[in-house]
Amino acid sequence: MPTKIEKDAFSGRDTTGHEWDGLKELNNPLPSWWFWTFVATVVWSIGFCIVYPSVPGISGYFGGIWGYSTRDAVTADVAALAAQRAQVLDKIKDVPIEKVRQDPTLMAVANTAGRIAFANNCQPCHGAGGEGRPGYPVLASDRWIWGGKLADLQQTITFGIRSGHAEARQSQMLRFGVDGVLKPEEIASAADYVMTLYGKAQPSPAAAKGQAIFAENCVACHGDSGEGKREVGGPSLKGAVHLYGDTREAVIAQITNPRMGVMPNWNARLDAATIKALALYVHALGGGEN
Ligand code: HEC
Ligand code: HEC
């Protein structure tokens, strides 16, 4: 339809030339408050783009003349929080760990700090209450691979296990299957014997054969009767709690190709006072030794 601008007789204004079924549209100017608000928002947005981070570039972005960054803001917040926590932790920082344990006030500080640090750092592997999960040991029982004294825990947490740190706890079970130290049937027999230690099988001729293999190959790390050897980090094979499952298949898999779990060295991420609090917290979970 051709547009035809005409003067409206009633208002004296031009029409836009659009017409729908006899209805014509008047070309009224924008209300000035609307117009100026619009101009103000444009000015504001240009100002905003100059002041704050805005235009993206190829390998970065224009950071704005105020240099504001939400990441810096978070870093500052985190630093403030750390300073606040450090103030609390300062109370136990220079006190020997045994002394902290004997002082109920300091122990309350350690417990709170330890609980928070445990939830933040340890829970994913060891469970919320230190109950452990497959591949990650229970920390809430008196069953320790490396020892449950305060000093043991402090050392384990500080340097880790097979963490790559020079002072990490190290232990290495031989890869009896993969490296051909034992034949598959010998491994199966050894597993039959281990199942009796786990309480999952009765003594049998097969297990007796396995016991001989065990005496020759395994006692150096797991102890004469599978009770474990802390000096070399050989876990106890007695009882019902195990790192890697208690089926015959799981035991055969471990003897064939041991998994060698890794526990990080926390001195890379946590300060000494936090580690002290963690050791006290873990110690108090139920399995602490004196
Ligand atoms: C990435 C998983 C992971 C995280 C996170 C982790 N651990 Fe561990 N931790 C392990 C593994 C795996 C072992 C057992 C290593 C082995 O096979 O000997 C272990 C062992 C331990 C032991 C030794 C237990 C024993 O029986 O002697 C202690 C104590 C311990 N962890 C405490 C902690 C604390 C405290 C934290 C948090 C600061 C933590 N762990 C975080 C994986 C983890
Ligand atoms: C040089 C030391 C060493 C020797 C020898 C050794 N082990 Fe181990 N064993 C370990 C260590 C360390 C672990 C824990 C390993 C891990 O985290 O993977 C382990 C773990 C195990 C486990 C898993 C325990 C669990 O809680 O799930 C079984 C089963 C086992 N060994 C059986 C044997 C048998 C059977 C032999 C002999 C044929 C043997 N080991 C010889 C060091 C040794």
Residues of the chain with CATH 1.10.760.10: 70-168+263-287, 184-256
DSSP output for 59-126: SSB---TT---HHHHHHHHHHHHHHHHHHHHHHHHTS-HHHHHH-HHHHHHHHHHHHHHHHHHTHHHH
**Considering only CA atoms, which residue is closest to atom 19 of ligand 1?**
263
> For residue 248, how many other CB atoms are within 10 A of its CB?
16
Q: Is the CB of 156 under 6 A from ligand 1?
A: yes
Which alpha helices (H) appear in the chain, and where do they start and end? 32-51, 70-93, 97-102, 104-121, 123-126, 150-159, 184-197, 205-217, 219-222, 248-256, 272-282
pLDDT of residue 236: 95
- Per-residue pLDDT reduced to its tens digit, 191-246: 999 999 999 999 999 999 999 999 999 999 999 999 999 999 999 999 888 999 89
> For residue 151, how many other CB atoms are within 10 A of its CB?
11
Q: Is the CB of 146 under 6 A from ligand 1?
A: yes
pLDDT of residue 108: 93
**Atom nearest to 217 CA in ligand 2:** 37
User: How far does Cα 249 stand from its chain's mean position?
Assistant: 29
What's the Rg (C-alpha) of the chain?
Answer: 35
**Atom nearest to 169 CA in ligand 1:** 18
Q: Is the CB of 145 under 6 A from ligand 1?
A: yes
Q: How many whole angstroms separate alpha carbon 277 and alpha carbon 85? A: 12
Q: Which fold has domain 70-168+263-287?
A: Cytochrome Bc1 Complex; Chain D, domain 2 (1.10.760)
Query: CA-CA-CA-CA torsion for 287, 197, 220, 212, nearest 10 degrees?
Result: 170
How far does the centroid of ligand 1 lie from the alpha carbon of residue 235, in Å? 13
The ligand whose atoms approach the alpha carbon of 220 most closely is: 2
Write down the mean pLDDT value for the chain: 93
**Nearest in space to 190 (alpha carbons), one of 218, 220, 221, 232:** 218
Burial class (CB in 10 A: 0-12, 13-18, 19+), 180: exposed
- Per-residue pLDDT reduced to its tens digit, 48-71: 999 999 999 898 888 899 988 889
pLDDT of residue 1: 54
User: Does 267 score more than 60 pLDDT?
Assistant: yes
Please give the CATH number for the structural domain made up of 184-256.
Answer: 1.10.760.10
Mean pLDDT, residues 158-184 taken together? 96
Q: How many whole angstroms separate alpha carbon 242 and alpha carbon 252? A: 14
Q: How many whole angstroms separate alpha carbon 74 and alpha carbon 76? A: 5
